[in-house]
Amino acid sequence: MKPNVLCFLLAALLMTACSSAPPFDAKAVAMEWAAYMQRDYVLRAGDHLTVRVDELASAASDTGALQEVVVSPTGTVDLRRLPGPLHIAGRSVGAARTEIIEAYKAVFSLVPSVTITLTEAATQSVYVCGEVFRPGAIAYRPGLTMTQAIADAGSFNYTVKHSDIRILRLNADGSQRTFRVNMTDVLLDQAPDFLLLPGDVVYAQTSSIADLGNYVDLYVRRLLPFSLGGPALGTVN
């Protein structure tokens, strides 16, 4: 490869590595998190519920009114005296209660007294990938921040680009948003941390020098008919 061509490619790589999205709006992210926490819980597969239908209680015992169920992978629950499974995934707890009342009205010919309690929520996750020591899924907990998720993933590798951590978030309509966080500002300058929501993906990208080292190793060193010796710049053993 000619030197001038190599210089051009390396310059283009550095220019690409320096491009970035604008910083995230901390206030807007906090408001979105608050709205998510305040909304009625939406049921999904794996949720554990206790359903109480007073009309199922017998004269001798009240325990028959209680049913402990788990939302199936197809989003349904099986309740006593109903002819078939009832689909409730994707509905709020209030909407599911209405669905169950309507189903039991056909059984009792009256409006039954129904109470639903979410006893255990299905596990939700965020995902951390890129330049961390233990990439993968992390169980979500309310209030989880980007810094905490990265700590759960074993913290950063030394090849990370601290100034440009990305968070990918899927919207309800299937579209995607990407946020940029300067971790140096968060850790050293008291900038707001990023409040995560279930399903968020945290991507810790490589630094420019690590990208350059990997580029040289992939497109220069491996194409040479002889070995230059020594480890490649930016690579991690």
Tell the CATH superfamily of the 48-120 domain.
wza like domain (3.30.1950.10)
Mean pLDDT score of the chain: 81
> Domain limits of the chain?
3-38+123-223, 48-120
CA distance 193 to 107: 52
85-132 residue pLDDT tens: 999 998 999 999 999 999 999 999 899 999 999 888 888 899 999 889
What pLDDT, on a 0 to 100 scale, did the predictor assign at position 192? 92
- The span from the first CA to the last CA of the chain, in angstroms, equals 27
Closest-CA residue to 98 (of 110, 116, 118, 71): 116
Closest-CA residue to 67 (of 121, 116, 123): 116
**Angle, CA of 214, 219 and 220, to the nearest 5°:** 95
- Percent of the chain past pLDDT 70, that is, above it, reads 76
What H or E segment, with its residue span, contains residue 219? helix 208-219
What pLDDT, on a 0 to 100 scale, did the predictor assign at position 16? 47
Q: What are the structure tokens assigned to 119, written together?
A: 């006893």
From the number of C-beta atoms within 10 Å of its C-beta (0-12, 13-18, 19+), residue 49 rates as buried
DSSP for 57-80, written as a single string: --SS-SGGGEEEEE--TTSEE--T
What pLDDT, on a 0 to 100 scale, did the predictor assign at position 227? 56
Low-confidence ranges of the chain (pLDDT < 70): 1-22, 59-62, 172, 207-237
Nearby residues of 36 by Cβ (< 8 Å), 6 or more positions away: 197
CA distance 208 to 192: 25
CA distance 44 to 158: 39
Q: Could you list the beta-strand ranges (E) of the chain.
A: 48-53, 66-70, 76-77, 86-87, 114-120, 125-130, 136-139, 160-170, 176-181, 201-206
What pLDDT, on a 0 to 100 scale, did the predictor assign at position 197? 92
CATH fold for the domain made of 3-38+123-223: Outer membrane lipoprotein wza fold like (3.10.560)
